Structures are given as C-alpha cells and as structure tokens.
Amino acid sequence: MRKNKSHTTLLKMENKIINKVQADISVAEEPQFNIYGEVEPDVIEKSVWDKSIKVEENGYYWKKDPVFTKGSEITNDKPIIVELFCGCGGTSMGFEMAGFEVLLGCDIHAPSIQTFKANHPNCSTILGDVKKVDPTTIKELLNGRPLDVIIAGVPCQGFSLNNRKRHQEDDRNLMYKEFVRFIEILQPKVVVLENVSGMKSTGNFVEEIEKDLSRAGKMTVKSKLLYAPDYGVPQKRSRLIFVGIKDDEFDFNSIHKTHGPETDKPYVTIKDAIGDLPSLKPKETKKKYKTQPFSEYQELMRINTNGSVECHTAPNHPKDTIDKIKNTKPGEPMYQKFKQRIRLAWDIQSPTQVSGGIRPQFQFGHPQDARGLTIRERCRIQNFPDDFIVKGGTVQGRVQTGNAVPPLLAKAVALAIKKYL
C-alpha cells in the first residue's frame, strides 16, 4: 500500500501545466490534409512543423525547468524501479505485471507524462529534459531504500532503421550518457536500457554503451536483440535490451519465450489481437464491445474493463484515401514509396509500429474496414490493455504508441531479472 497525502492537488497542478503547454500551441482554423490525404484538424502553426525541426523541438516537448510531481510513499516490499525517458510507460507497465513497484517516470514529452500519470496515478513524475534533472531527487524519494532497477529507453531516432537520414553523429545518440550519470549516483542493483535494433548496425555504439554502463554501475552489462512475437506481441518488432546485475552476470537465456516455434503456442495474429473490436467507418466512434473475446489475447486485453472501449474512433479520411485502402489487398503496401505502410491482414503480425515524427499519419490500413487504425487498435498491437488511458489526442496518441515498448516484452525481461533480486 502507499500513503497518498497530497496526490490529488499535485496531479491537478501538473495537469494545469500540461494543459497550458497544449493551449500555447496555435491551432489551424481550417482542417488540413497531410501528404497521404488524411484530414488533420488539429494542425499547429506551420513553423512548428518545419521539416528542419527535430521531433523533440515541437511544442509538446517541455523546454522550461523540470516539473516534479510527488506521488504517494511506497510502503510495500516489492522491488522498486525508476524509468527515465519513460514515454507513456510501456516498460513500467511490463515490470508492474511482473510484481515490481514503479517509483518514478521521467520524460520531456508532455502528453506522454500525462498518459504515464493517468495509468500510474500513485507514482512520482518529472516532466522535463533529463539533462536538467538532479538524481538526488530520486534518492530523496527512496527514503533510505536501495534502488532495485533503473530503466531507460533513450531516444532512438538516430539509430532507427525507419529514419532514412540516420547517422552515428546524431546528437540524440549520446543521450545514454545522461543515463550513465544517474547510474553513477544511484548505484542500482540492476540496470536496463532498451533501444531499436538499428543500434547494432551503427558504428560501435553497442560496445561503447556496454562499457560505459558497466563502469558506471560497477557491474557487467551485456545486450541481446529480442524478437517481440516470441513474448506474445502481435508485431514484428525487435528491441535491443541491455541488462546488468550487481555482483552477478545476467543470463539472457533466462528470459522465457511464451510464443513461437520453441513453445506450444503460435504467434499472436492481428485477428487474435483486434478481431473482437467493433467495426468502424471513418470518423465513427464505438464504445461498447459487440462480441465476446475469441482469443486468449483478447481476454487478456479486456481483463480489467467493464464492457466499454475507450479511444476507439476511426481516423477522418477523405474519399480518395478510403478508396486507396479499400483497393489495397490485405498484407500489401498502400503506397509504393512507403513499403511499411501496409493494409494489415488478419493472419499476420503487424510490421513495427512507429511514432512517425511530429506529424504522424495513419500507418496501417484495417484488414476489413476501409480506414486506418484507431488508437485502441494501436494499443492492442503494442500489448496495452483496454483499460490503458491515452492522453493527448489522436496524433499524440500515435506518437506515444509508436515509441512504446510492448508491456509483455518488458514483463518477460522483468520476470527474468526478478530471479536475481
């Protein structure tokens, strides 16, 4: 249990600040269309979306002094985690599923922190640039307890295979140095860092990071590429995971695969993942399930719901985009220049879901309906259960779900780590 003293007041203060961030952004008076023909009614002023502006420099990224919101005190004996660059909280959710307690999440993206707080209401949060955050803030929150696990999902744009301009000189690639700074001061029992698979093919960054994390934590840090479908994720997504254990060496073979050829369960398909969600026309919203779950995955996604579906609103497409999706065979690309932008098929896993930068368009067409995916469907493909709350609207919901680590992948890693604590 946690002692919750002034949480409600602090949460109101944080939401007021975040809402001010969004209010400060100018909204276009008329709906606009992106290059794929999708209506974008919430376009902010043109200068913010200039192609020369990096993702983290748009108006949703907090540039002022960090805003700290204190959560309630931890009074149980569960192992404690802190997550830097937490995004909307996919990794934290996976560790919670494995029996860990989340102490704090920190991120510069205002809608992500709003989402993190909505789904981890008792946690402390820091909205702001991690470079401006003092690690002793976390020491004070620990109140004399040792930190069990520190986690970071450092910015990956410079490494991502989906970034056609990626290169190893991208200054975002060195953000892991901030993670090193926290490790040096907090000296956790376990260090976990995740990034995209493209890091392995960009210079010698993997070896450098292993060396720096090992030195900072006084431990041996190793890394391995994990394939998300092996852990029940209906998405062909690979993540590079670094793990270090104090006074021990982590065995990646202890991460138990739950699906695939090495198990008795087949990979989860798109039909398994989203086939029970209500069919929609463009712009349509439905808030009730129309069918009973017909897969184990759907049952898992619905476990804490009361029969209602949130964030299940179809994108607002013009007729030519609807026709484009309708005339594309499931499993095939909708646009020849963008092979990853396919119309999904029921019997496959999704390609890697991406955030899409600061103006993310719909990425996938629905297998049956002539439309893009809803935020709820994107959440399902990323393992977020149906009671997971996404803040910030459709566009920022795409950013958050595309950047996230699938909770079931994180859970598998967490269960293996727990054996060492």
CA separation for the pair 108, 21 (Å, rounded): 12
Neighbours of 206 (CB within 10 A): 19
**Number of residues assigned to the chain:** 421
Within 13 A of 370's CA, how many CA atoms are on the CB side?
12
Q: Is the dihedral of CA 65, 69, 74, 79 positive or negative?
A: negative
* 86 catalytically annotated: no
Q: CA of 17: how far to CAs of 20, 64, 66, 392, in Å? A: 5, 11, 11, 14
C-beta neighbour count of 300 within 10 angstroms: 15
Helices 110-119 and 393-403 cross at an angle (nearest 10°) of 80
Beta bridge partners of 83: 105, 151
Integer Cα distance of 12 and 66 in angstroms: 16
Angle made by CA atoms 32, 38, 44, in degrees to the nearest 5: 40
Picking from 313, 310, 331, the residue whose alpha carbon sits closest to that of residue 371 is 313
Rounded to whole angstroms, the Cα distance separating 192 from 414 reads 10
Q: Exposed, middle or buried: residue 12 (CB in 10 Å: 0-12, 13-18, 19+)? A: exposed
CA distances from 216 to 153, 180, 183 (A): 17, 6, 6
CB of 148 closer than 8 Å to CB of 79: yes
The tokens for 233 are 């994720």
The residue annotated as part of the active site, out of 86, 156, 311, 379, is 156
In this structure, is the dihedral angle defined by the CA atoms of residues 112, 116, 121 and 122, taken in order, positive or negative? negative
Residues known to be catalytic: 156
